Protein backbone atom coordinates (compact mmCIF):
# COMPACT_ATOMS: atom_id res chain seq x y z
CA UNK A 1 0.00 0.00 0.00
CA UNK A 2 2.78 2.44 0.90
CA UNK A 3 4.73 1.65 -2.27
CA UNK A 4 1.56 2.30 -4.28
CA UNK A 5 1.14 5.67 -2.55
CA UNK A 6 4.78 6.58 -3.24
CA UNK A 7 4.31 5.60 -6.89
CA UNK A 8 1.21 7.83 -7.09
CA UNK A 9 2.98 10.76 -5.45
CA UNK A 10 5.87 10.51 -7.94
CA UNK A 11 3.46 10.47 -10.91
CA UNK A 12 3.26 13.97 -12.45
CA UNK A 13 -0.47 13.60 -13.27
CA UNK A 14 -1.16 12.88 -9.60
CA UNK A 15 0.89 15.93 -8.59
CA UNK A 16 -1.10 18.10 -11.01
CA UNK A 17 -4.37 16.69 -9.67
CA UNK A 18 -3.36 17.39 -6.05
CA UNK A 19 -2.33 20.94 -6.96
CA UNK A 20 -5.63 21.45 -8.78
CA UNK A 21 -7.65 20.06 -5.85
CA UNK A 22 -5.84 22.25 -3.31
CA UNK A 23 -6.25 25.33 -5.50
CA UNK A 24 -9.96 24.67 -6.12
CA UNK A 25 -10.64 23.93 -2.45
CA UNK A 26 -8.79 27.06 -1.32
CA UNK A 27 -10.72 29.17 -3.85
CA UNK A 28 -14.07 27.79 -2.73
CA UNK A 29 -13.23 28.04 0.98
CA UNK A 30 -12.29 31.70 0.49
CA UNK A 31 -15.19 32.91 -1.67
CA UNK A 32 -18.30 30.72 -1.81
CA UNK A 33 -17.84 27.74 0.48
CA UNK A 34 -21.34 26.51 1.23
CA UNK A 35 -23.23 27.27 -1.99
CA UNK A 36 -20.56 25.91 -4.32
CA UNK A 37 -19.70 22.77 -2.33
CA UNK A 38 -21.85 20.52 -4.51
CA UNK A 39 -20.29 21.88 -7.71
CA UNK A 40 -16.80 21.38 -6.29
CA UNK A 41 -17.43 17.71 -5.51
CA UNK A 42 -19.18 17.21 -8.86
CA UNK A 43 -16.24 18.77 -10.73
CA UNK A 44 -13.77 16.73 -8.66
CA UNK A 45 -15.64 13.50 -9.41
CA UNK A 46 -15.79 14.42 -13.10
CA UNK A 47 -12.03 15.06 -13.20
CA UNK A 48 -11.18 11.73 -11.54
CA UNK A 49 -13.66 9.95 -13.81
CA UNK A 50 -11.97 11.41 -16.89
CA UNK A 51 -8.54 10.53 -15.49
CA UNK A 52 -9.44 6.88 -14.85
CA UNK A 53 -11.32 6.67 -18.17
CA UNK A 54 -8.17 7.84 -19.97
CA UNK A 55 -6.10 5.15 -18.20
CA UNK A 56 -8.77 2.52 -18.97
CA UNK A 57 -8.70 3.37 -22.69
CA UNK A 58 -4.88 3.39 -22.68
CA UNK A 59 -4.60 -0.05 -21.06
CA UNK A 60 -7.39 -1.43 -23.24
CA UNK A 61 -5.43 -0.58 -26.39
CA UNK A 62 -2.24 -2.33 -25.20
Which residue ranges make up each domain of the chain?
2-61
pLDDT reported for residue 12: 62
CA 53 to CA 45: how far, in whole Å?
Answer: 12
pLDDT per residue as tens digits for the range 33-60? 666 677 778 888 888 888 888 787 777 7
Q: What percent of the chain has pLDDT over 90?
A: 0
Higher pLDDT, 31 or 56: 56
Residue 1 has pLDDT above 50, yes or no: no
How far is the CA of 29 from the CAs of 21, 34, 37, 40, 55, in angstroms?
12, 8, 9, 10, 31
Q: What is the mean pLDDT of the chain?
A: 71
Positive or negative, the Cα torsion across 42, 27, 18, 16? positive
Residue 13 has pLDDT above 80, yes or no: no
Amino acid sequence: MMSLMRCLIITPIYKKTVAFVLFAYNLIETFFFKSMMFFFFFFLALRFLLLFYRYFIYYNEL
